[in-house]
Structure 1
């Protein structure tokens, strides 16, 4: 990513001053309700945008299990990665989003659309309870292996342990995903629309552990991210030839 592009990125705010109880209603809704028509409406609109402007294409979406719990583990460059990830999937994908976004009017789209808050900078156990609940009922959950957006245009050097924690707590199959090209999405402001490709890897799973240690979580996260990196490197090497 060029220096002008980096300078356009706003400084990330990691802590939300609101108490965790303020987000209980969003967790409760996600735990008891699947995404409704809002998800379908947003998917149609954003899919058209992804296909027309960013020429979004997908490789091997059939590798995502059609039924049963599954964790999608992509890299993360852009705020549009959520939409690129789900364009080719008929399954409704749940996402975590930073709690700062849960304010009117966006909260009225996020919550019925299957998005729930995570409070960054604190040990937000409620977010993991919600995520495991989603998986236990046989639905699809996406979680970025890097924890947040890469600010450099390159994959992060080390993943956050959250993806490892979720994989161990749930025992759900993990599908590594490489999103290529979205690091330049902000160029749309200059009427430049990069081509985006999404590559889905083969699913794999870990034995479910009720109380994994931090070391187990990090080791699992490292293994998952290694699969994401291998997929990304293969995809970018192929596009360069």
Structure 2
């Protein structure tokens, strides 16, 4: 598929006017409780959809450690990337999601499924406290190196420093991941369903830093995203197209 065939994405809202306190209960639940049955319900339904419509296949999911803290660091094209990422994994994956999504009734599903908000348009320290808490108890966190979805059909040129901050604050192993094909997922509206492939890289880690500088965070984010890009470029070179 060409760039012209990409379905246009809606403009994103970058500020959530609600107060910090509006989201405290979601953070508290994620910090103190594991995802419950809702995670499994959603996983089953979305796995069936992913396999059936988008023919999702994973390459080397065994590279994700079977236990202990781990940060999954994929590129990001589609709102379905969360599900594509977890289809090949037995572990429950926690996600940050933009706070605008946390409205009834979906907020109940999100929070019971291991998703917690990051307040858009603000320096949201609560989101990082929650993410580090999840990792410190030995669970799995997913965070997109690009911050938000790429709207060009190609991975972004630069990483956001948030992934570097999380890697340094936690010291958890990072698994770079390339998701190929999901840039055209929105073409389902045209009854076009691209094949999606998920490539898991080798884990690596950084020493824990209690108070990393912005430069340290950005340097680590850039290094992580370089590994993601390497996987993505190798995959698309091999197949000849992101949608092959």
TM-score, structure 1 normalization: 0.98
**3-state DSSP of counterpart to 1:62:** helix
Moved over 4 A (4+): none
- Between the aligned partners of 2:4 and 2:13, the Cα distance in structure 1 is 21
Tell me, yes or no, if the aligned pair for 2:6 and 2:183 is still in contact at 8 Å: no
CA distance in structure 2 between the aligned counterparts of 1:50 and 1:94, rounded to whole angstroms: 19
Deviations 1:24-79 (A, max 9, x none): 00000000000000000000000000000000000000000000000000000000
Match of 1:73 in 2: 73
Residues 166-224 of structure 1 show CA distances to partners (whole Å, capped at 9, x for unaligned) of 00000000000000000000110011100000000000000000000000000000000
CA distance in 1, matches of 2:208, 2:3: 42
The Cα shift of 1:9 comes to: 1.0
**In the TM superposition, what are the counterparts of 1:8-19 in structure 2 within 5 Å?**
8-19=8-19
Question: 1:172-187 counterparts in 2 under 5 A?
Answer: 172-187=172-187
What SS is found at the alignment partner of 1:42? Answer: helix
Aligned ranges for residues 117-132 of structure 1 at < 5 Å? Answer: 117-132=117-132
Instruction: Name the structure 1 match of 2:237.
Output: 237
Q: CA RMSD in A?
A: 1.0
Unaligned regions of 5+ residues in structure 1, if any? none
Q: Which position in structure 2 is the counterpart of 1:154?
A: 154
**Could you tell me which residue of structure 2 aligns to residue 224 of structure 1?**
224
1:143-162 C-alpha deviation (Å, 9 max, x unpaired) = 00000000111110101000
Count of aligned pairs between the two proteins: 240
Q: Distance in 1 between matches of 2:19 and 2:180?
A: 36
Deviation at 1:2, TM superposition (A): 3.0
- C-alpha contact 2:77 2:150 (8 A) present in aligned 1: yes
Report the CA distance between 1:108 and its aligned residue.
Answer: 1.1
C-alpha distance in 1, partners of 2:78/2:199?
16
Quick one: distance in 2 between partners of 1:52 and 1:14? 33
SS at match of 1:111: helix
Measured after TM superposition, the shift of residue 5 of structure 1 is 3.0
Q: Matches of residues 1-241 of structure 1 in structure 2 within 5 Å?
A: 2-3=3-4, 5-6=6-7, 8-240=8-240
Query: Residue deviations 1:97-155, cap 9 Å, x none?
Result: 00000001110110000000001211000000000000000000000000000011111
SS for the counterpart of 2:104 is: coil
TM-score by length of 2: 0.97
Contact 2:6 2:153 in 1 (8 A): no
